[in-house]
């Protein structure tokens, strides 16, 4: 069974640009969550999608947005990039939203903003 996949794995952008990251969850998983991870900050929750609807949102500005498609694949978009957006962006999927279900992480997309 294939794991969570994320594309691209690495990305370099300049300030002011926008970027779209993609996540394909494990087959059968309907919940997809996105996290930002920077050194010393730990995993910061961005948002969670379930059945194409955003169910929960973290404390990030409106420049961060996402969506989920009918096949559960998800994309995350960051507009007007800032230097502070440089981070590892992790996607995680789980079968359902119930806390008893394990969350599986993808390898991440390393975004560098110059």
Partner 1 sequence: KNQVEQSPQSLIILEGKNCTLQCNYTVSPFSNLRWYKQDTGRGPVSLTIMTFSENTKSNGRYTATLDADTKQSSLHITASQLSDSASYICVVSAITGANNLFFGTGTRLTVIP
52 Rama class: left (phi>0) / alpha (psi -120 to 50) / beta: left
Considering only residues 26, 78, 90, 111, which one is a binding residue for partner 1 as defined by CB under 8 A? 90
Is residue 73 within the footprint of partner 1 (CB under 8 A)? Answer: no
Q: Using the minimum distance from each CB to partner 1, give the nearer residue, 72 or 106.
A: 106
Cα→Cα distances 98→1, 34, 48, 94, 103, Å: 22, 17, 13, 9, 10
Q: H-type helices in 34-94, by residue range?
A: none
With CB under 8 A as the rule, give the number of residues binding partner 1: 25
Is residue 26 within the footprint of partner 1 (CB under 8 A)? Answer: no
- Using the rule CB under 8 A, give the single segment among 13-21, 65-73, 74-82, 99-107 that binds partner 1: 99-107
- Using the rule CB under 8 A, give the single segment among 12-20, 61-69, 71-79, 86-94 that binds partner 1: 86-94
Q: Report the largest interatomic distance among the alpha carbons of the chain, rounded to a whole angstrom.
A: 40
């Amino acid at each position: 069974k294939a794991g969570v996949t994320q594309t691209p794995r690495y990305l370099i952008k300049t300030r002011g640009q926008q970027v779209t990251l993609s996540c394909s969850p494990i087959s059968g998983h309907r919940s997809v969550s996105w996290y930002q991870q920077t050194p010393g900050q730990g995993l910061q929750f961005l948002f969670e999608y379930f059945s194409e609807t955003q169910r929960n949102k973290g404390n990030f500005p409106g420049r961060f947005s996402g969506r989920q498609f009918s096949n559960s694949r998800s994309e995350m978009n960051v507009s007007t990039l800032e230097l502070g957006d440089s981070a590892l962006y992790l996607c995680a999927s789980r079968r359902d939203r119930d806390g008893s279900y394990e969350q599986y992480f993808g390898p991440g997309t390393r975004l560098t903003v110059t």
